A = this chain, B = another copy of it.
Amino acid sequence: MKIGAREALELWRGALVETVRRSAPDLTARQQAVLFCVYLVPPPHTVRGLARELKLRKPAVTRALDRLEETGLVRRRTDPEDKRSVLVQRTVKGSVYLSEFGDLILRAARAIP
């Protein structure tokens, strides 16, 4: 990817402004980060795994998942192999959300000369 610092910031701004304008489901940076990891990093995803990846405490991840599950963007399933563990899985709604977010970034990118 060839891209300069100024372009990078413009890209970020464009996408950011658009999400704010739409007053999209207002996700925290944390919540968004968890969401993106679940969808863009190969599974399986557990609470402790996400916590390690994002350098967060487990309660923080649990709460982020509470919010994301409540919105239908991810799903929790107890791991049948180890009933202590929880597997965080993708949903159709979450896939749509991410896909639309991708388009949004692309539009922001195209708006850059």
Residues of B within 8 A of A96 (CB): none
Interface with B: A19-27, A77-85, A86-94, which one?
A: A19-27
Are the CB atoms of A8 and B55 closer together than 8 Å?
no
Are the CB atoms of B37 and A13 closer together than 8 Å?
yes
Are the CB atoms of B17 and A53 closer together than 8 Å?
yes
Are the CB atoms of B102 and A9 closer together than 8 Å?
yes
Are the CB atoms of B110 and A1 closer together than 8 Å?
yes
Residue of B nearest to A110 (CB): B1
Q: A11-B105, A16-B29, A20-B29 are in contact. List 15 more A-B contacts (CB 8 A).
A: A1-B3, A3-B109, A6-B102, A8-B105, A9-B98, A9-B101, A9-B105, A12-B101, A12-B105, A16-B32, A16-B33, A16-B36, A17-B33, A17-B36, A20-B56
- Nearest 6 interchain pairs by C-beta: A8-B105, A13-B36, A5-B102, A20-B33, A1-B109, A21-B55
